[in-house]
Amino acid sequence: MSKIAIMGAMPEEIAPLLEKVENVKKVDYANNSYYEATYKGKELVIAYSKIGKVFSTLTAAMLIEKFGCTKLLFSGVAGAINPELHIGDLIIADKLCQHDLDITIFGHAHGFVPEGAVFVETDTALRDVAKSVASKNELKVIEGTIATGDQFVASNDRKAFISSTFEADALEMEGASVAVVCDALNVPFFVLRAISDTANDDAGMDFDEFMVGSAKISANFILDMVENIE
């Protein structure tokens, strides 16, 4: 049976999970707290990393290497690029990229460094679980590209660059780094995000208003998935 890691970036992204899981045991390690727990007979380890690619890389690596997780699910919020995505809507990543990784001066594509890849794909079996949960609950989910970078995007210009360069549907600050870790360690992974803003000039205000509600939508969906993961 899988030991399932569920991670978010911020406390608000894992709080709805911690309210519902059972047998919670907190373990502090590497300047972070990890919550071992069970839910409907499944073994879980839940943590939030803190915001950004570096902290999320550290947490994903610890969940796998120290806590022995064999699958990883990321739950959180994102800014929408695809105009079909509205606040509260869910997106599942089919692939992720780093929009702020830039050595284009040496002739490389945006998001590419030697021995890396522009896009990392998520696990198709976990995506299938998500799609069946969505159809059972009559929820709409969009499957698409998520772009990650160490910046909160609140600019139509930056959003347009990320959209045209990567054909991304949503953006956030952790997914692609978690993807790199899981891909390197051969751990199937999945990234779900509920929209908190549209990364435009009003994104800061929208994020403050909608982040908690959208984080809850994402977390509840993830828990519905857990019981269907072998």
Query: Nearest 5 degrees, angle CA 13-CA 197-CA 155?
Result: 125
Residue nearest to ligand ADE (CB): 79
Token pair for 117: 């890849």
Distance between CA atoms of residues 188 and 72, nearest Å: 6
Q: Which is nearer to ligand ADE, 192 or 199 (CB)?
A: 199
Distance between CA atoms of residues 201 and 197, nearest Å: 10
Minimum Å gap between C-beta 147 and ligand ADE is: 9
Token pair for 179: 């993807």
Minimum Å gap between C-beta 193 and ligand ADE is: 8
H helix or E strand, kind and range, residue 148: strand 141-148
Token pair for 25: 């045991």
- Please answer whether residues 169 and 107 qualify as being in contact, where contact means their C-beta atoms are separated by less than 8 angstroms: no
**Is 197 known to be catalytic?**
yes
Minimum Å gap between C-beta 182 and ligand ADE is: 20
Max intra-chain CA distance, the chain: 52
Whose tokens are 């019981």? That residue is 227
**Is 102 known to be catalytic?**
no
Q: Which is nearer to ligand ADE, 51 or 61 (CB)?
A: 51
Distance between CA atoms of residues 201 and 179, nearest Å: 28
Q: Which of 12, 13, 172, 206 is catalytic?
A: 13
Minimum Å gap between C-beta 74 and ligand ADE is: 12
Q: Which is nearer to ligand ADE, 42 or 95 (CB)?
A: 95
Q: How far apart are the first and last CA of the chain?
A: 6
Q: Which of 89, 172, 197, 206 is catalytic?
A: 197
Q: Which is nearer to ligand ADE, 207 or 221 (CB)?
A: 207
Minimum Å gap between C-beta 82 and ligand ADE is: 14
Q: Which is nearer to ligand ADE, 37 or 203 (CB)?
A: 203
- Please answer whether residues 106 and 41 qualify as being in contact, where contact means their C-beta atoms are separated by less than 8 angstroms: no
Binding site for ligand ADE (CB under 6 A): 77-79, 152-154, 171-173, 196-197, 199, 203, 207
Distance between CA atoms of residues 108 and 49, nearest Å: 30
Q: Give the residue numbers annotated as catalytic, written as ranges.
A: 13, 197
